[in-house]
Amino acid sequence: MPQRRACDLTTEERAEIILHSEIGPRLGGELLARLARASTALDVRRRRFIYRRGDQADTLYLIARGRVKICSIDDETAREAVIDIIGPGALFGESALYGPGARERSAVAYENARLIRIPVGEFREAMAGDRELYDCTFRLVGQRLSRAERRMADFALDAIPARLDKLLVELSERYGREEPGGVLIDLNLPHREIASIVGSTRESVTVRLNAMRRAGIIDFVDRKILIRTPAASAVAGLQ
């Protein structure tokens, strides 16, 4: 049976997706129904842009499935700095809440993704009428900003090997899955993507990861990274 297209989802099905997102537990039935009615669903293929820097910031998104990469792309060199990779349930595009204007970052489908799109006006009205949603939304925004600030501090204070070690620990905490041999980071991570996150080159990342594998700290499983030692050891192991 062919998979249904996003545009064919009913209001009730969109409501179910919103309910299982990170804002869902804060929504009462009436508010949930209102956001579902105002929303639309879309499918975005891997590596396609959801929005680009400079686009009008007029929409928020929830991820129903797949993952999305938030990044900054230099106009002159086309070099990419990965800000974050977020997964199912996540809210993004929150810069639309700050007022009318253009996007400062780009969002790209890291995997084939299904998204729920909510107009910012509807979302603002929902926040204005529901203190729990208001608090939850800005708590999520604050957590994301804190993560970005920690990474900026790492860029200023840490050498590239330390940045990479810390990134693996962070990803193992966010996307880790217990396996008999350790903790598997359940995310396909090409070395070029890791390099974009830690501000390095693909070649340097490859050298570091191979050294960690030889030391027995990590292994590679189907293009994913398995951390064989506890997270703290993964950080300290090659310092």
**CATH 1.10.10.10: which residues of the chain?**
158-236
Instruction: Compute CA distances 33 → 12, 16, 56, 176, 182, whole Å.
Output: 8, 10, 26, 33, 42
DSSP assigned state of 58? -
Amino acid at 86: I
Question: Per residue in 216-235, pLDDT tens?
Answer: 899 999 889 999 865 445 44
- 74: three-class secondary structure by DSSP: coil
SS (H, E, C) 141-174: HHHHHHHHHHHHHHHHHCCHHHHHHHHHHHHHHH
Burial of 156 per CB tally in 10 Å (0-12, 13-18, 19+): exposed
Asked if residues 204 and 145 have their Cβ atoms less than 8 Å apart, the reply is no
Beta-bridge mates of residue 178: 183
Q: Distance of alpha carbon 87 from its chain centroid, rounded?
A: 5
> In this predicted structure, what is the pLDDT of residue 220?
92
Instruction: Compute CA distances 230 → 80, 210, 213, 221, whole Å.
Output: 31, 18, 14, 17
**CATH 2.60.120.10: which residues of the chain?**
6-147
> In this predicted structure, what is the pLDDT of residue 2?
60
- 186: three-class secondary structure by DSSP: coil
Beta-bridge mates of residue 221: 224
Considering the domain delimited by 158-236, tell me its CATH architecture. Answer: Orthogonal Bundle (1.10)
pTM (2 d.p.): 0.85
Give the dihedral sign, CA 15/18/20/26.
Answer: negative
> In this predicted structure, what is the pLDDT of residue 238?
44
The number of residues making up the chain comes to 239
Question: Quick one: angle between helices 29-38 and 11-19, nearest 10?
Answer: 120
Amino acid at 230: P
Rg (CA), the chain: 19
> Which structure tokens are listed for 78?
């086309």
CATH number for the segment(s) 6-147: 2.60.120.10
> In this predicted structure, what is the pLDDT of residue 52?
94
For residues 14 and 33, give the distance between their C-alpha atoms in angstroms, rounded to a whole number: 9
Question: Per residue in 82-121, pLDDT tens?
Answer: 889 999 999 999 999 987 789 999 999 999 999 999 999 9
pLDDT-flagged residues of the chain (< 70): 1-2, 229-239
Q: Quote helix, strand, coil % in the chain, to nearest 5.
A: 45, 25, 30
